[in-house]
Amino acid sequence: MTAFLAALTAFFFGFLVTPMVIFFFKRTNILEAPGGRKIHKGMVPSMGGIAILFAAYIGLAAWLSLDQLAFARYLLIALTLMFTLGLRDDLVELTAVQKLLGQGVAAFLVVGMADIRISSFYGCFGIYELPLLVSYGLSAVTIIVLTNSFNLIDGLDGLAGTISSIILGFLGWWLMDAGLYPYAIIAITMVGAILSFLVYNWHPAKIFMGDTGSLSIGFLIAVLLLLFIDRNGTMLAMQGFKFNAPIATGVALMIIPIYDTARIFVKRIRNGRSPLAPDKSHVHHFLLRMGFDHDKVVFILLAVQLTFISFVFLGRSMNDHVMLPLVVMLAVGLGILLDRYTLKQVIKNHLKKPPILQHRVSNPTYKKTALSSLVDRDKIKVN
């Protein structure tokens, strides 16, 4: 009940505060312009993460006891640090090194101070208990990677908010069932804040969450995911809802950000480009090229997310030796189908609008040459 009331409080304050944030940034002309890899139209305020975090903190302050706040203090301090880092980056862009340093400090707070880390692989890859230093290092790197992976999917109206609501809702439910109430309340409260933001972030968006929101939310998801993997791996079946494949379940929960990041990094490196170079090769860009509108793309990716979660639910009695390869193969298979279908659909859409005058279309030789040229040109664009 406390978690529900905290989420409701966060939703209420988020619903009220977000229009104020929009008004302030429009009044001060702090807006995000379209162009480059930005696919929105017109000048739109960013830094909606201010409203999200403000609303979440109000909900937590109202309903978490002092003991619960003290228990989760290192996570809340680290979350505030990530919020500050994102805000600074939205106002004046930070270098990659500066961002990594800030993320490293935040990761140290939860790994080193709160002891939220991966302590074992539970037999996956034949690995069990990890040496302490390896556990610390691997956990910190995992948090940073997952945080930035989530940040990369924040490129379409409503997408990051929708995906994060599902993930945090799942984690909040499981943490509550496992008796980790402070962390569960934090997750569910954040869902309430994000849902209020989605009212204004749905296409056409009146505001974006910016790095202020995406880095903070991505960090929270990453930390709670590590907590889920570690506690789920060590718990007994009678202690709560146990998944026998905690690592595969964690991958399935973050499948959209993980797959998207891996895919674009491999593609950029293969093409001789920096893996950090921004472009329009993300999964949501591909779906837009297929002719789907913004809302349909969000619902398609939401359906994919729910499919993977359902898959690990159904296979929760299987271990990581079985489930992890299945999750990876399913993701790769769907990705290959997406790439192939997108190529065909883009060519098909262009062929419906040949850039030739109607009276010249009747010339068979001209038509054949024009269409051949168009297909070649489009292949270059897609590849």
pLDDT in tens, 147-204: 999 999 998 999 999 999 999 999 999 999 999 999 999 999 999 999 999 999 999 9
Same domain, 304 and 212: yes
Same domain, 208 and 289: yes
Same domain, 358 and 233: no
Same domain, 221 and 361: no
How high is the pLDDT of residue 281?
75
Same domain, 128 and 79: yes
210 lies in some domain: yes
How high is the pLDDT of residue 381?
42
Pick out the residues of the known binding site for Mg(2+): 151, 211
- CB neighbours (10 Å) of residue 367? 14
361 lies in some domain: yes
How high is the pLDDT of residue 353?
63
Residue-number span of the structural domain to which 19 is assigned:
2-341
Q: How many domains does the chain have?
A: 2
Mean pLDDT of 72-92: 96
Inform me whether the pLDDT recorded for 370 exceeds 80. Answer: no
49-63 and 2-27 helices, crossing angle to 10° = 150
Pick out the residues of the known binding site: 151, 211
The percentage of the chain sitting over the pLDDT mark of 90, rounded to a whole number, equals 67
Q: Are 168 and 188 in contact (CB under 8 A)?
A: yes
Same domain, 290 and 361: no
Same domain, 287 and 369: no
Confidence at 283, pLDDT banded by 50, 70, 90: confident
Distances (CA, A) of 182 to 30, 116, 142, 379: 36, 14, 22, 52
Residue found by looking up tokens 């674009």 in the block: 264
Same domain, 276 and 371: no
Q: Is 34 exposed, middle or buried (0-12, 13-18, 19+ CB in 10 A)?
A: exposed
Same domain, 359 and 329: no
Inform me whether the pLDDT recorded for 6 exceeds 50. Answer: yes
pLDDT averaged over every residue in the chain:
87
How high is the pLDDT of residue 38?
60
349 lies in some domain: no
Which residues pair with residue 45 across a beta bridge? 31
348 lies in some domain: no
Closest CA to 220 of 249, 245, 183, 195: 183
214 lies in some domain: yes
Q: Find the range with the poorest average confidence among 115-129, 306-320, 352-366.
A: 352-366
Same domain, 373 and 282: no
- CB neighbours (10 Å) of residue 307? 13
Same domain, 246 and 363: no
346 lies in some domain: no
Same domain, 322 and 231: yes
188 lies in some domain: yes
52 lies in some domain: yes
Confidence at 219, pLDDT banded by 50, 70, 90: very high
